[in-house]
Amino acid sequence: MSTLLYTRYELRRTLRNRRFFLLSLGFPLVLFFLIAGPNRHVHDLDKTGISAPMYFMVGMVAFGTMSSMLSCGARIAAERAVGWNRQLRISPLTTWAYFRAKVQTAYLMALLSMLVLFVAGASLGVSMSAGDWVEMSLLILACLIPFAALGIAIGHMLTPESIGPAMGGGVALLAFLGGTWFPIPSHGFLHDLGQLLPSYWLVQASHVALGGHPMGAKGWIVIVAWTVVLSALARRAYRNDTGRV
């Protein structure tokens, strides 16, 4: 008995799904070249001190990885719709092992999306020390934790028909308010609102390039708070979801 095998099959299924490549990998990549390409020589985007390719690379990583994490929810919703969820419940697979497999698969997909965009960024002249690349990657992966919980929660609450629009709209809104498309002003309403969202801190990972640590205590508190709230929601959604759909 090994949940490692189970996770491997989950991953294989996900890789075989062409929609994933189109949306999670292709879409952010195309957007990156469309936005950052014409601005590749802008070294200080909107006085942030960050070059346009760097800023939009991290912005698109935020967009792509958020989609990757939430698409875990779309897969759960599809499994529920065909009753597979009930089949799993009458197996010895524990709740934790089930969540772990889902989260691992989502993370591997996010990692793939991130690496593809890093390569794209480097091709437009983004360069950092190896240490900075690693620090930035780790920050991004940490900021994705609440999105893993959100993916599971919506997967158990929505139907395959409603989850597409919910995800598309949700990711677009979170990306917009987090500063994926353009830098959030350094003060004012958008700034205050953005700082309360995990997507804001995801995008802030680009500040690694400026040296120092972009995630202050405030950033970590926001990430941890969202993780706690959304994990509780995910657990509840999973518990309440035993009926025939």
Partner 1 sequence: MTTAILASGLRKSYGEIEAVRGIDISIDAGETVALLGPNGAGKSTTIDMILGLARPDGGTVSVFGDTPTAAVDAGSVGAMLQTGALIRDLSVRELVAMVASLYPAPLPVDEALELTGLSEIAAQRTQKLSGGQAQRVRFAVALVSNPKLLVLDEPTVAMDVEGRRSFWGTMRGLAAQGRTVLFATHYLEEADAYADRAVLMAHGRVVADGPTNEIKAMVGTRTIRATLPAADLDALRRLPGVTAAERRGEAVVLSCADSDAAIRALLGVHGDARDIEIVSAGLEQAFVQLTGEEAPSQAVAVESVGS
Kindly indicate which of the ranges 3-11, 46-54, 109-117, 216-224 contains the residues binding partner 1, using the contact rule CB under 8 A.
3-11
Kindly indicate which of the ranges 8-16, 43-51, 107-115, 142-150 contains the residues binding partner 1, using the contact rule CB under 8 A.
8-16
Using CB under 8 A, pick the residue from 49, 56, 64, 87 that binds partner 1: 87
Q: Residue 152 interacts with partner 1 (CB under 8 A)?
A: no
Q: Residue 19 interacts with partner 1 (CB under 8 A)?
A: no
Neighbour-count burial of 78, counting CB atoms closer than 10 A to its CB (0-12 exposed, 13-18 middle, 19+ buried): middle
Q: Which amino acid appears at position 38 of this protein?
A: P
> 136: helix, coil or strand?
helix
Q: Which amino acid appears at position 216 of this protein?
A: G
Q: Residue 11 interacts with partner 1 (CB under 8 A)?
A: no
Question: Cα–Cα distance between 122 and 16 in angstroms, integer?
Answer: 28
Neighbour-count burial of 86, counting CB atoms closer than 10 A to its CB (0-12 exposed, 13-18 middle, 19+ buried): middle
Map the footprint of partner 1 across residues 181-240, applying CB under 8 A.
Answer: none
Question: Cα–Cα distance between 42 and 122 in angstroms, integer?
Answer: 15
Question: Cα–Cα distance between 176 and 60 in angstroms, integer?
Answer: 11
CB of 242 to partner 1, least distance (A): 6
47: left (phi over 0), alpha (psi -120 to 50) or beta: left
When the beta carbons of 13 and 191 are compared against partner 1, the nearer one is: 13
Could you tell me how many residues of this chain bind partner 1 (CB under 8 A)? 28
Helix intervals (H) in 144-244: 145-157, 160-178, 189-194, 198-204, 217-239
When the beta carbons of 51 and 71 are compared against partner 1, the nearer one is: 71
Q: Residue 96 interacts with partner 1 (CB under 8 A)?
A: no
- Give the length of the chain: 245
Residue 168, both tokens:
């598309």
Kindly indicate which of the ranges 57-65, 90-98, 122-130, 190-198 contains the residues binding partner 1, using the contact rule CB under 8 A.
90-98
Using CB under 8 A, pick the residue from 90, 131, 186, 217 that binds partner 1: 90
CB of 64 to partner 1, least distance (A): 21
Kind plus residue range of the DSSP H or E element containing 105: helix 95-123
Is residue 147 within 8 Å of residue 62, measured between CB atoms? no
Kindly indicate which of the ranges 51-59, 74-82, 133-141, 232-240 contains the residues binding partner 1, using the contact rule CB under 8 A.
74-82
When the beta carbons of 80 and 207 are compared against partner 1, the nearer one is: 80
Kindly list the residues in this chain that would bind partner 1 in the complex (CB under 8 A).
1-3, 5-6, 9, 12-14, 16-17, 78-79, 82-84, 86-94, 242-244
